Chains A and B, each alone.
Chain A
Amino acid sequence: MTSAGLDPLIHVPARLRIVATLAALPGDDALSFTRLQEMIGLTPGNLITHLRKLEEAGYVGTEKSGNGASSRTSVALTRRGREALEEYAAALRGLLGEV
């Protein structure tokens, strides 16, 4: 089965899990980088690479709080990211419906 019509940015196991996890957060909640890493199970280096790709596309936003050693980075799905996931899920349903 081809994956034509599926957003290539989301259609990768690790990024699909990142986007789906952030989409499960209620409202405009954000998740700390360390909690997201614990939930997804990627190394910090790999997670940063995936997050940067999603951030460049405007699918996720990051926010730094605190200073120095107590600083924390939170990650949240943007409206554009949520819409992209909805379109991706609809495209998946369409593809699977054709089988």
Chain B
Amino acid sequence: MNERFDTFRPPPPEPDPWQTVVATDPGDDEALDPRDAAALLEQTTRQAERRFELQPPYLLFTAAVTTLVAYGAVWLSVRNQNPYTGPSGTALAVLYGVLALWIAFVATFMRRTLGGRSSRRQQQLRGIVFGTIWVSVYVLEGALYHVDHDHAIAYGVYVAVAPLIIVGAAAAGYQAGRGNRTQALLAALVVAYGAFAAFAGPSAVWGVVGVGLCTILLASAAATLWQRRAHA
């Protein structure tokens, strides 16, 4: 029995090649033709940028579908409510279930994309800042409900648009600071859309945000694909 368990021991970590491998002479120090060098530089840069890309079109597409299903499920459960009481348990289960699936998908993608990359201080700081902002969104929801027990605001308009406005504003500032023009403008568009969507009221806001956000994400995926084809 013990022997059987022994076979399930995790393999020891592979040694770092930098420490263990003997340097060899590659023997390829021949000079390049400048035309070939220019082509190689462009091709390598493009390939590397795609490997490091954090928002590839298919990820934006899955985000669009997730948004439509999650917000759509809540909208279906609240569309005929008068007075507004909030989403049903089934709608919330669909909302959080779909979100959990998407987060697991993104986490797998991030592990693959970020694997081998390190800038620990920046990543930790980014995680702390955005984690605090997300938690604050829901703390404020609790505070709003605590103040006047208004379902239409706390469980309707606010919770549907606040993540877009608050987290979107933080993301827009972050991307603008890094000089990522497209991502900064996309985040700013989401913020503006979230603000206008609030006028739809506690029931309709779920449908308006679901359809609008899905459209913005699909347009962004299409624009990324178009940019890639233009540079190919």
Contacts and interface: CB of A to CB of B under 8 A. Distances in A.
Given A1-B35, A12-B28, 6 more contacts: A1-B33, A6-B34, A31-B117, A48-B18, A48-B23, A49-B23
Nearest to A40: B44
Contacts of B22: 45
Give the bracket for the number of chain B residues in contact with chain A: 35 or more
B32 interface: yes
Interface of B: 12-19, 21-26, 28-35, 37-38, 40-41, 44-45, 48-49, 51-52, 115-119, 122, 178
A23 B16 contact: no
Contact of B18 (A12, A13, A46, A62): A62
Given A3-B32, A24-B52, A46-B24, A30 B119 contact: yes
Most central of A37, A44, A64, A73 by chain B CB within 10 Å: A44
A92 B34 contact: yes
B34 A64 contact: no
A67 to B, nearest CB: 10
Interface residues of A, number: 52
B37 A16 contact: yes
B205 to A, nearest CB: 35
A12 B119 contact: no
Task: Return the 10 tightest CB-CB contacts between A and B, nearest first.
Answer: A35-B116, A45-B24, A24-B48, A73-B18, A32-B116, A46-B26, A44-B21, A20-B44, A44-B17, A48-B23
A25 B38 CA distance: 19
Contacts of B19: 64, 71, 73
Nearest to A48: B23
A72 interface: yes
Nearest to B49: A24
A93 to B, nearest CB: 8
Given A35-B117, A96-B34, A64 B23 contact: no
A84 interface: no
A16 B32 contact: yes
A70 B15 CA distance: 7
Contacts of B30: 12
A21 B44 contact: yes
Contacts of B32: 3, 11-13, 16
Contacts of A21: 44, 48
A61 to B, nearest CB: 12
Contacts of B15: 69, 71
